[in-house]
Amino acid sequence: MLMTSLDISNNYNIDPDNVQTLGRYQIICQLGQGATGIVYLVWDPFIRRNVALKVAKTETDKFRENFLAEAQSAGRLSHPNIVAVYDAGSENDFCYIAMEYIKGATLENFCRKENLLPPNKGLEAILEVCKGLEYAHREGVIHRDIKPSNILLNLDGSAKITDFGVAQMTDRTFTTSIRGTPHYLSPEQVKDEIVSFQSDIFALGCVLYEILAGEKAFPGENSYGVLYKITSTEPRSILSIRSDLPKVLDEIVRKAIRKDPSERYQSCAEMAAELDVALRGIVASPRNLEKSKEVADYFQNLSFFADFKKEQLSELTALANIVKFPGGKVVASEGEIDDTFYIILSGQVKVRKGEKDIATIGTGECFGEMAFLGGQPRVANVAAEGDCVLMKITAALLQKLPDSVGLLFFRSFARTLVQRLSKNLEERN
């Protein structure tokens, strides 16, 4: 029950000094405000943790019905790059959604020229958004409101998409009233045509443009000017704004924001594959190439690379993405379809099936190879057990390497599978 009545004026802010609770949630402070509601930091006494509570005024019964139905739909999504939805409800003239509280900032903070992320960090964030969207699309959910303020960057640098569900039910029929500034709407949304997964890809292309260029792809003095540009003009090349960026990034952005949905990337996975190639090109600078020769000595001592020559390892480490995961961080999720596998350079990971721990994998071993080889959904969750450093290998990377190096990978896969099978047989006996 709402303990103190809310101000339901157009501003409808909740004053934490006068209103202490909404449902069971104890209001602490306001975190942000958007076109569809206000987000508060609240305390959930039932599960004893802070959560983010999005509050929206229910103008009609239909709005309330759609809000709660879409919140339930969003609650079914479970992915490391999607903000989790815990609960939804309504009190008097308000609906609310309780969500995972992320300590960090939105990508909107890094869209100004004076505060841009390094290109590799920006691409890493967009890659994670691609993963979250690919999962949502496979579940039949279209976000419809991808924009920098709906992408959260955690303190560890990971990206999470928020406002699923709320975006689904938001009225996107632009007649005489436009909600917010529609810089990220696709042409088909503007024209009130059929919306598809490619609509999210268009919006993500606009976000990528903005975090690289420091300005919007489709600027305008008012909403109608923006809508005209979205449907009728092309943005200027990001290379004319930042000559230090590789040409491939301009090509990726342009493909993502094509006017015709059929000419865009047909999936977020397809877009992610090209972003991954671009990221490796940025990371493989002369300084990093020199560093890769130094670390090749270390890699030769790992069991996975037992058959690799030093020259082959130097070439591999110049292209591969080496990532660090803090303890408890999920690396791979059950049900996820991904062409990525990992080699543990230091530390170890825990493999979980449902609520059961089924294996611990340590330094020099690999995981994710079965999903990589078979193209099937991952069958378990994998999380870092303490800080660990991993080498991330994709199918696109293997295609760039010489055939001789590719064969060594498959030989190491075979050796790993034999060792695990032997270990399982010993444990059963």
The residues that are catalytic are 145
| Structural tokens at position 84 | 């989790």
Q: What are phi and psi of 407, to 5 degrees?
A: -65, -35
Separation between Cα atoms, residue 300 and residue 291, nearest integer Å: 15
Q: Are 45 and 26 in contact (CB under 8 A)?
A: yes
Separation between Cα atoms, residue 2 and residue 375, nearest integer Å: 50
| Structural tokens at position 230 | 């979205």
Closest CA to 231 of 266, 188, 200, 182: 188
Q: What are phi and psi of 117, to 5 degrees?
A: -70, 155
User: CA quadruple 330, 332, 337, 338: dihedral positive or negative?
Assistant: positive
Closest CA to 51 of 60, 61, 43: 43
Separation between Cα atoms, residue 245 and residue 229, nearest integer Å: 24
Pairing verdict, β 340-346 and 37-44: unpaired
DSSP string, 87-111: EEEEETTEEEEEE----EEEGGGG-
Separation between Cα atoms, residue 16 and residue 2, nearest integer Å: 13
Closest CA to 106 of 161, 167, 47, 62: 161
Closest CA to 381 of 326, 311, 331, 310: 331
Strand partners, 277: none
Closest CA to 42 of 25, 54, 56: 25
- How far from chain centre, in Å, is Cα 292? 28
Q: How many CB atoms lie within 10 A of CB 262?
A: 8
Q: Are 160 and 154 in contact (CB under 8 A)?
A: yes
The SS3 of residue 133 is: helix
Helices then strands, each counted (H, E), the chain: 13, 17
Separation between Cα atoms, residue 193 and residue 321, nearest integer Å: 40
Q: Are 342 and 390 in contact (CB under 8 A)?
A: yes
